Amino acid sequence: NSALNIPNVQIQETDIVIVSVPSYISELEKLINSTSKRIQANYVMWRAIASSVPYLTEALRQRELQYTKFLNGRTERVPRWKECTDLVTQSLSVAVGALYVRKYFPKGAKEKATEIISDIKAEFIDILKGVDWMDNVTRSHALEKANAMVPHVAYPDELLSDKEIEGVFEGVS
């Protein structure tokens, strides 16, 4: 569960997890099994430190820049204001998303887009019902799939609910 790093999501032993590249998991397992514990521990510590660099002192951020310059030739750091806004956007993405939607997304636009998508889906289903190049079994499967399609339009409605947003950050101090 902690490997996924998704707040408020718990994966149970009986849950099905879809892995888009299964060979990655088996190759990762081989790598872990063939790598010494010491190297694995060093890697984990390095990742923890590297992810903390934006929060650390200017001197340490300069050292990281030297390393990055050596690694890929980058000679300039992102301006500090950009680092800070990026960190806020990453760590408070739900709240930032809510602010963005509330300020810039026109009222009624989501409903209009949802209506258009619904009309397109209905028309697609009507077309499927009338095609003569599908046999009945194939048509039935196609109609099942079409009816199972769930539109994801614009933003989740929860972004407009202060209660939902506060719930995401419950326990954060």
pLDDT in tens, 105-120: 998 999 999 999 999 9
The confidence score (pLDDT) of residue 101 equals 94
* Same domain, yes or no: 53 and 123: no
* Same domain, yes or no: 73 and 87: no
Q: Within a domain: residue 7?
A: no
pLDDT in tens, 45-104: 999 988 898 888 989 988 988 988 999 988 888 888 998 899 899 889 999 999 999 999
| DSSP code per residue over 44-69 | HHHHHHHHHGGGS-HHHHHHHHHHHH
Where is the domain boundary, 50, 77, 104? 77
* Same domain, yes or no: 119 and 49: no
Q: Within a domain: residue 154?
A: yes
The confidence score (pLDDT) of residue 1 equals 45
Domain total in the chain = 2
Q: Within a domain: residue 43?
A: yes
* Same domain, yes or no: 50 and 108: no
Read off the pTM.
0.56
- Which residue stretches of 19-133 are H helix? 22-34, 37-52, 58-72, 80-91, 93-104, 109-130
